[in-house]
A and B are shown apart, each in its own frame.
Chain A
Amino acid sequence: MRAFTYTRAADTSAALGAAIQNPEAKFIGGGTNLVDLMREEVERPNEVIDINRLPLSQIEELPDGGLRLGALARNSHTANHLLVRQRYPVLTQAILSAASPQLRNLATNAGNLLQRTRCYYFYDITAPCNKRQPGSGCAAIGGFNRIHAILGTSEQCIATHPSDMAVALAALDATVQVQSANGQHSIPIEAFHRLPGDTPEQDTNLGHDELITAIDLPATPFATSSLYLKVRDRPSFAFALVSVAAVLKVADSQIKNVRLALGGVAHKPWRAHAAEEILTGAQPTAEIFRRAAEAELQAAIGYEHNAFKIELAKRTIVRALTTLTERHLA
């Protein structure tokens, strides 16, 4: 790990000021991903700005009945907040299915969104990787790509975003609150992460001189009927092969509201709009679930070791919808 200057920011403007002054500086919150990447010399900041003393750890109700999750609230705190558990169980489950309790105690909400891919080759500085070193090539495309993307890939990059939490946030239509020197603005979660395209080095649309202050969850009464289903190679403490965040409201044998997002399949949490469109208004049957899943995965491209994810994703969507429907009937 390269030596760096440690700056402890007392408030948000000091943190932003330090970042504006030094384009090589990095914010540190929980550090669970950044420290690891620094140790591997994938990230080489010459300055680390510690933002942990900023007052951004609150979780509070918004006037419209939504919730505001502080950027620095720890993942474990967020998952266990009673209002999150009651109103957005999909989010609690997604967070609790990620990493380990120790890591969730360190990891912050903002850091979770900003974590980088777990692509093996991204992590190994001796391998070519367009995300780490633009123009150097992609070792994953012809290499071991079991954990890689099947949707929205480019010839430059087939990495996935590793977050579980962000998948639930995508299904919940969250917005990311961002502070910059110019003021506060918000970015819808779907516009926050990017597809790799020709610029895989950019994971998100957040600028270097911008700081996430909170994540807002809109009031979503039907989100009480939601779940997060994660399929992985080891039944705990492993990244997703495929995951599904599903929110479903069924009334009078009809799907009134549905939100679906997939994890482990793309460079960003994958909101399944095509599937949602087919499902909305339909009767909740196994056939329609399968049809919706087929539609969503229609454009999927498999590689040597991850082609199975296409079928697995379809089945996981169906399983998630079936489980929620059964709960409605019960």
Chain B
Amino acid sequence: MSFSIEQILRGDLPRGGQSPPAAADPGLLPVSLRINGHDYHLQLESRVSLLDALREFIGLTGTKKGCNQGACGACTVLVDGERVNSCLTFAVMHEGQEITTIEGLGQPDNLHPLQAAFIEHDGFQCGYCTPGQICSALAMLKEVAQGDASLATSDLTKAEVDLTDEEIRERMSGNICRCGAYLGIVDSIRDVYEQQKGQ
């Protein structure tokens, strides 16, 4: 299938994803995943990671593969609201859970505040780590709201977080940005945090 560069640059492409095998393969398991509120019924090998299930089988390519070993955070998705590395877990283990990917946040005409803030503060350059950063940031703000500590938290007995830059940085250290847009990322998160606090 041939695509024009105009289509590609507009993001105007079919979803893709690997078609299920024609014949029943004894190595395949029926796997049902609930992603962004939709149910997907797949036939997968048990060894397929959640990340590859999303990218290669379902065609939800917003979640990125960076290192495939939990060392970069590009594959971050939310499972029941918690951020996890989708590369280090098998898809079949997540039946019955709510999975949220970047495609489940905002759309270009209706951005999530974090997405809008990342654009405003230029919290990315190449954009490849960005979906992982944004999913991670979303969960991070929830963790902050519930008083979770980080290594930058000086008083562990206090369940309230003083969200300094140092706190944001420590809490986002599982997401690598090789372009080095960390300052924009920190400012984007702070911006949304202040917005939420103001509400």
- Point out residues on A near B: beta carbons under 8 Å: 1-6, 28, 30-32, 35-36, 38-39, 48, 50, 52, 76, 79-80, 82, 85-86, 89, 92-93, 96-97, 99-103, 105-106, 236-237
Q: Which of B29, B88, B171, B174 contacts A31 (CB 8 A)?
A: B88
Distance (whole angstroms) from the CB of B174 to the closest CB of chain A? 2
Q: Which of B71, B83, B175 contacts A105 (CB 8 A)?
A: B83
Contact with A along B147-158 (1 / 0, CB 8 A): 111110000110
**Do the beta carbons of B46 and A3 come within 8 Å of each other?**
yes
Kindly state whether residue B162 has any CB partner on chain A within 8 Å.
no
Residue of B nearest to A36 (CB): B69
Set of chain A residues within 8 Å of B83, measured between Cβ atoms: 101-102, 105
**Do the beta carbons of A102 and B85 come within 8 Å of each other?**
yes
**Do the beta carbons of B151 and A236 come within 8 Å of each other?**
yes
**Do the beta carbons of A97 and B151 come within 8 Å of each other?**
yes
Cα–Cα distance between A329 and B143 once the two chains are bound (Å): 33
Distance (whole angstroms) from the CB of B156 to the closest CB of chain A? 4
Kindly state whether residue B130 has any CB partner on chain A within 8 Å.
no
**Do the beta carbons of A103 and B136 come within 8 Å of each other?**
no
Residue of A nearest to B87 (CB): A35
Residue of A nearest to B80 (CB): A105
Distance (whole angstroms) from the CB of A159 to the closest CB of chain B? 18
Q: What 5 A-B pairs are tightest by C-beta distance, nearest first?
A: A100-B174, A6-B46, A236-B173, A85-B156, A96-B151
Cα–Cα distance between A36 and B76 once the two chains are bound (Å): 16
Residue of B nearest to A38 (CB): B47
Interface size on B, residues (CB 8 A): 40
Cα–Cα distance between A30 and B29 once the two chains are bound (Å): 20
Assuming the contacts A100-B174, A102-B136, asked whether A1 and B84 have C-beta atoms less than 8 A apart, the reply is no
Kindly state whether residue B49 has any CB partner on chain A within 8 Å.
yes
Distance (whole angstroms) from the CB of B149 to the closest CB of chain A? 6
Distance (whole angstroms) from the CB of B131 to the closest CB of chain A? 13
Q: Which of A2, A36, A50, A102 contacts B93 (CB 8 A)?
A: A50
Set of chain B residues within 8 Å of A80, measured between Cβ atoms: 147-149
Set of chain B residues within 8 Å of A79, measured between Cβ atoms: 149
**Do the beta carbons of A92 and B149 come within 8 Å of each other?**
yes
**Do the beta carbons of A32 and B88 come within 8 Å of each other?**
yes
**Do the beta carbons of A32 and B85 come within 8 Å of each other?**
yes
Cα–Cα distance between A79 and B49 once the two chains are bound (Å): 27
Q: Which of A4, A36, A76 contacts B46 (CB 8 A)?
A: A4
Apart from A48-B46, A52-B93, A86-B157: 10 A-B pairs, beta carbons within 8 A:
A31-B93, A32-B70, A39-B69, A76-B82, A82-B159, A99-B174, A101-B174, A102-B73, A102-B83, A237-B71
Distance (whole angstroms) from the CB of A68 to the closest CB of chain B? 20
Q: Which of A35, A82, A96 contacts B49 (CB 8 A)?
A: A35
**Do the beta carbons of A102 and B174 come within 8 Å of each other?**
yes
Cα–Cα distance between A82 and B69 once the two chains are bound (Å): 31
Contacts A/B (CB < 8 Å), 6 sampled? A4-B46, A82-B159, A101-B140, A103-B85, A103-B88, A105-B84
**Do the beta carbons of B143 and A35 come within 8 Å of each other?**
no
Set of chain B residues within 8 Å of A96, measured between Cβ atoms: 149-151
Set of chain A residues within 8 Å of B88, measured between Cβ atoms: 30-32, 35-36, 103, 106
* Candidate in B76, B88, B143 with the most chain A CB atoms within 10 angstroms: B88
Residue of A nearest to B76 (CB): A102
Distance (whole angstroms) from the CB of A163 to the closest CB of chain B? 15
* Candidate in A52, A97, A103 with the most chain B CB atoms within 10 angstroms: A103
Kindly state whether residue B170 has any CB partner on chain A within 8 Å.
yes
Residue of A nearest to B47 (CB): A1
Distance (whole angstroms) from the CB of B38 to the closest CB of chain A? 23
Assuming the contacts A6-B29, A35-B90, A85-B157, asked whether A103 and B69 have C-beta atoms less than 8 A apart, the reply is no
Set of chain B residues within 8 Å of A102, measured between Cβ atoms: 70, 73, 76, 83-85, 136, 174
**Do the beta carbons of B151 and A106 come within 8 Å of each other?**
no
Residue of A nearest to B45 (CB): A3
Residue of A nearest to B135 (CB): A102
Set of chain A residues within 8 Å of B69, measured between Cβ atoms: 36, 39
**Do the beta carbons of A103 and B70 come within 8 Å of each other?**
yes
**Do the beta carbons of A35 and B89 come within 8 Å of each other?**
yes
Cα–Cα distance between A249 and B71 once the two chains are bound (Å): 37
Kindly state whether residue B108 has any CB partner on chain A within 8 Å.
no
Kindly state whether residue B32 has any CB partner on chain A within 8 Å.
no
Assuming the contacts A100-B174, A102-B70, A103-B174, asked whether A76 and B93 have C-beta atoms less than 8 A apart, the reply is no
Cα–Cα distance between A4 and B46 once the two chains are bound (Å): 7
**Do the beta carbons of A39 and B93 come within 8 Å of each other?**
no
Distance (whole angstroms) from the CB of B185 to the closest CB of chain A? 14
Kindly state whether residue B27 has any CB partner on chain A within 8 Å.
yes
Set of chain A residues within 8 Å of B171, measured between Cβ atoms: 101
**Do the beta carbons of A89 and B136 come within 8 Å of each other?**
no
Cα–Cα distance between A316 and B82 once the two chains are bound (Å): 34
